[in-house]
């Protein structure tokens, strides 16, 4: 090791710059693995927090977080009558983007089944759960909203009564919790002109039918508000979640609900697999490809630097061979330099990551198995990178020192 250290001191500038470059590359590799872990955590975060056993969604769809799902509100009462169900609650979920304080504000709106669910299960860092049926909201800190701040959504103003931390959707947007009726009002809000045009078009459609000509009063009803028309159903919700009584088999209840032709039922585990297999899988493969490319680049950079360092000391290597030094001493010189470069780069990557990763726009989760795996990869690329320099050193003839 003394020979390796002395040679590093002789070429300290090149060695330090290469180590810093390797450290930055390894930090990115480490961060990509952490981003993948963060994607998984964010994808199933809300599913875990809701703590339901069964999710009822629109037939032949994958649920409210993977794609659009629309089911009638009455399904909540129908599901409550299934044997073994402890409670059922409607759930509204959609994403909106609005202008707030001169900047875009994008959030995932979650509608809770008030008054059965006021969001008391949501981990708050400040404030309180929802306390009334309308015009209150609980928001994640990532949205930049303050406790007590008022936000205009649609035609209403909502007051932030509670704050959470780390509750985001699958796209990284902060969650905001409202009552289900408020969430639907936000989702289906349209400008006044659009509403007037819809009423006029509705009146025209009724007037063109025989029924409208026989019953003129229907024209006045058709041109009025939607909630005054009995034939129109209320806005549909995204899903209905069920909690089963202790000891009830989830598969039996799913089998019962699956007999209904208009919906599809998933267990919580199935809902997670649908999220991870669809939305997260493509990101996982893309991050994996970038990690492989960066590892290959790191190996090439280390190999070129070690080869250059070997070229600079060919005369010294020839001298060592002339005085009878074993090949193991020369191999150890180059290999120890490679291992030291890899170890220092790995340590630098971990140290820089402690400061950089918390500032990333997406959640980065670094776990011990990931660090161990990356350490093994660094060990392997250090050995591989040293092979080019070792091969060159082994071809050096002892009489080269006499020639020059």
Inter-residue long-range contacts of 92-97, CB under 8 Å, 24+ positions, other chains counted:
92/180, 92/183, 92/184, 92/187, 92/237, 92/238, 93/64, 93/65, 93/238, 93/239, 94/183, 94/187, 94/238, 95/169, 95/171, 95/173, 96/153, 96/186, 96/187
Q: How far apart are CA 20 and CA 16, in angstroms?
A: 6
Q: How many CA atoms lie within 13 A of 180 on its CB side?
A: 20
Q: How far apart are CA 39 and CA 308, in angstroms?
A: 41
Listing DSSP states for 194-221 in one string gives HHHHHHHHHHHHHHTSHHHHH-THHHHH
Please give the pLDDT value at position 233. 59
Tens-digit pLDDT string for the chain (404 aa): 455 566 667 667 778 888 888 899 899 989 988 988 888 888 888 899 888 999 999 998 888 887 888 999 889 999 999 999 999 999 999 999 998 888 899 999 999 999 899 999 999 999 999 999 999 999 999 999 999 999 999 889 999 999 999 899 888 899 999 999 999 999 988 777 777 777 777 777 777 776 666 667 666 666 666 655 655 556 789 999 999 999 999 999 999 999 999 899 999 999 998 888 877 788 878 888 888 888 888 888 888 887 887 777 777 777 777 777 777 777 888 888 888 888 999 999 999 999 999 988 888 999 999 899 999 999 988 888 888 888 888 887 776 655 55
Please give the pLDDT value at position 177. 97
Helix (H, G, I), strand (E, B) or coil at 95: strand
Instruction: Enter the tokens of residue 280.
Output: 């997260």
CB neighbour class for 106 (10 Å; exposed up to 12, middle 13-18, buried from 19) = middle
Measure CA of the first residue to CA of the last residue in the chain; give whole Å: 27
Please give the pLDDT value at position 201. 77
* Cβ neighbours, 10 Å, residue 303: 19
Please give the pLDDT value at position 123. 93
Per DSSP, helices labelled H in 131-235 are 180-187, 192-207, 210-214, 217-222
Please give the pLDDT value at position 39. 87
Q: Where are the beta strands (DSSP E) in 218-273?
A: 239-244, 263-267
Among 152, 64, 144, 148, smallest CA distance to 111 is for 64
What are the sequence ranges of the domains in the chain?
2-42+282-403, 52-277
Compute the 3-state secondary structure of the chain and give helix, strand, coil in percent, each to the nearest 5.
55, 20, 25
* Cβ neighbours, 10 Å, residue 220: 11
Instruction: Enter the tokens of residue 95.
Output: 């994403």
Please give the pLDDT value at position 224. 64
Beta bridge partners of 44: none
Q: How far apart are CA 109 and CA 96, in angstroms?
A: 7
Please, what's the b/e burial string for 385-402 (b: 16 or more CB within 10 A of its CB; e: otherwise)? bbebbbebbeebeeeebe
């Amino acid at each position: 090791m003394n020979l390796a250290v002395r040679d590093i001191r002789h070429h300290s500038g090149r060695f330090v710059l290469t180590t810093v470059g390797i450290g930055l590359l390894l930090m990115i590799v480490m961060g990509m693995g952490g981003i993948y872990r963060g994607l998984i955590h964010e994808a199933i975060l809300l599913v875990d927090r809701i703590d339901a056993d069964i999710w009822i969604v629109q037939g032949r769809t994958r649920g409210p977080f993977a794609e659009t799902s629309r089911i009638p509100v009455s399904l909540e009462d129908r599901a409550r009558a299934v044997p073994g169900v402890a409670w059922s609650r409607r759930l509204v979920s959609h994403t909106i983007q609005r202008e707030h304080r001169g900047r875009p504000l994008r959030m995932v709106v979650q509608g809770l089944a008030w008054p059965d669910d006021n969001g008391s299960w949501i981990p708050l860092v400040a404030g309180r759960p929802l306390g009334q049926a309308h015009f209150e909201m609980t928001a994640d800190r990532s949205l930049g909203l303050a406790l007590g701040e008022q936000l205009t959504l649609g035609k209403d103003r909502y007051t932030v009564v509670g704050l959470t931390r780390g509750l985001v959707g699958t796209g990284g947007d902060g969650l905001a919790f409202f009552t289900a009726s408020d969430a639907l009002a936000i989702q289906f809000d349209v400008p006044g002109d659009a509403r007037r045009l819809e009423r006029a078009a509705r009146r025209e459609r009724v007037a063109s039918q025989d029924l409208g000509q026989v019953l003129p009063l229907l024209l006045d009803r058709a041109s009025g508000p939607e909630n005054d028309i009995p034939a129109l159903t209320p806005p549909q919700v995204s899903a209905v979640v069920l909690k089963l009584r202790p000891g009830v088999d989830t598969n039996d209840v799913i089998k019962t609900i699956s007999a209904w032709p208009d919906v599809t039922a998933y267990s919580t585990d199935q809902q997670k697999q649908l999220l991870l297999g669809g939305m997260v899988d493509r990101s996982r493969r893309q991050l994996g490809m970038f990690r492989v490319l960066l590892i290959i680049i790191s190996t090439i950079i280390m190999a070129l630097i070690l080869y250059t360092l070997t070229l600079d000391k060919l005369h010294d290597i020839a001298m060592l061979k002339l005085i009878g030094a074993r090949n193991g001493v020369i191999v150890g010189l180059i290999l120890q330099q490679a291992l030291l470069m890899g170890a220092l780069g790995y340590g630098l990557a971990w140290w820089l990551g402690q400061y950089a990763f918390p500032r990333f726009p997406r959640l980065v989760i670094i776990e011990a198995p990931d660090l161990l795996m990356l350490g093994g990869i660094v060990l392997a690329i250090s050995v591989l990178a040293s092979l080019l320099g070792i091969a060159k050193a082994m071809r050096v003839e002892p009489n080269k020192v006499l020639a020059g």
